[in-house]
């Protein structure tokens, strides 16, 4: 999948040099539908001449479309913006950085990955709590209820719980459920894998999933309260030094 020529061409045509490009979204989370698009995420490097003015443009580059039948969405941030987000309670960027589905990499990508653990704090729980709440609202208001947002709810909650307990970023729901052992998840994932992107659920299942959601939400809050993870990141200087070295080579 990661060496698909269509993905490689999309990355090769990026207007700036890339530090890395990985696959995120449903493919990373372990439940892509047959018609799921590919979410490419990464970091680009703006040349110095574009950083010296009063206004810095192209800090984020977005490109989407269909290439030879493959729908894909490419979003990259300049290194300064991405590194800054790493120092905030943003689990999403850490998932992108550490995704095992790598389309393009560099030695600097490997170095950046080694710095990721020093960015993790117990306050990343707030990111996952907020994300789960927004996904639950999307799931709850849909008529009929859809499989995709529900799986996102479980994925986000289990990722947050796992992070608080282990300090490790794991975004794949299949892997997460090896520990969580939610008996209903394999069947739900199978429906997403085999069905269309907008597959639906029986409305009668809503109360069951509400109970599971509320229980896991409380489990994440408790994991946050009891977590031994640090309060603040420990590697801001190391990230700064890496950014300076990268810029000097541009």
Residues 108, 113: Cα–Cα separation, whole Å: 9
Residue range 119-134, pLDDT digits in tens: 999 999 999 999 999 9
Smallest Cα–Cα separation from 153: which of 126, 122, 174, 130? 130
What are the sequence ranges of the domains in the chain?
Answer: 5-118+234-249, 124-226
Looking at residue 116, its pLDDT comes to 98
Looking at residue 1, its pLDDT comes to 75
Task: Indicate whether 229 pLDDT > 90.
Answer: yes
Q: Work out the average pLDDT over 236-245.
A: 97
Q: What is the pTM of this model?
A: 0.95
| DSSP H or E run through 111 | helix 107-115
Name, in order, each residue with C-beta under 8 angstroms of 225's C-beta and a sequence gap of 6 or more: none
Confidence class of residue 54 from pLDDT cuts 50, 70 and 90? confident
Smallest Cα–Cα separation from 119: which of 82, 150, 155, 172? 82
Structural contact between residues 216 and 177, judged by C-beta atoms closer than 8 angstroms: no
Handedness of CA 246, 239, 159, 132 (dihedral sign): negative
Confidence class of residue 204 from pLDDT cuts 50, 70 and 90? confident
Task: Indicate whether 250 pLDDT > 80.
Answer: no
Residues 136, 187: Cα–Cα separation, whole Å: 19
The mean pLDDT value of the chain amounts to: 95
Looking at residue 159, its pLDDT comes to 98
Residue with token string 């520990």: 179
Smallest Cα–Cα separation from 191: which of 200, 183, 203? 200
Q: Which CATH number fits domain 5-118+234-249: 3.30.460.10, 3.40.630.30, 3.90.180.10, 3.40.109.10?
A: 3.30.460.10
Is the model more confident about 123 or about 69?
Answer: 123
Q: What is the percentage of the chain residues whose pLDDT exceeds 90?
A: 83
Task: Indicate whether 136 pLDDT > 90.
Answer: yes
Dmax over Cα atoms in the chain, in whole Å? 59
Q: What is the Cα Rg of the chain in Å?
A: 19
Smallest Cα–Cα separation from 163: which of 120, 130, 194? 120
Q: Work out the average pLDDT over 15-30.
A: 97
């Amino acid at each position: 999948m990661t060496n698909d020529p269509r993905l490689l061409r999309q990355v090769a045509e990026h207007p700036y040099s890339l530090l890395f490009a990985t696959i995120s979204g449903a493919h990373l989370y372990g439940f892509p539908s047959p018609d799921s698009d590919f979410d490419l995420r990464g970091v680009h490097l703006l040349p110095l001449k574009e950083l010296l003015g009063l206004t810095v443009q192209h800090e984020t580059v977005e490109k989407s479309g269909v290439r030879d039948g493959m729908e894909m969405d490419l979003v990259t941030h300049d290194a300064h913006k991405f590194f800054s987000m790493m120092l905030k309670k943003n689990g999403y960027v850490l998932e992108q950085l550490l995704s095992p589905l790598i389309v393009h990499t560099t030695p600097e990508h490997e170095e950046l990955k080694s710095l990721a653990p020093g960015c993790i704090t117990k306050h990343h729980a707030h990111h996952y709590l907020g994300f789960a709440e927004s996904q639950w609202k999307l799931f709850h208001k849909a008529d009929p209820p859809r499989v995709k947002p529900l799986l996102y709810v479980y994925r986000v909650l289990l990722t947050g719980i796992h992070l608080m307990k282990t300090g490790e970023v794991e975004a794949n729901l299949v892997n997460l459920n090896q520990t969580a052992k939610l008996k209903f998840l394999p069947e739900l994932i199978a429906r997403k894998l085999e069905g269309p992107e907008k597959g639906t659920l029986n409305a009668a299942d809503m109360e069951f999933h509400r109970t599971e959601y509320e229980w896991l939400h409380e489990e994440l809050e408790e994991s946050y309260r009891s977590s031994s993870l640090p309060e603040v990141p420990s590697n801001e200087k190391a990230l700064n030094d890496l950014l300076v070295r990268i810029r000097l080579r541009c």
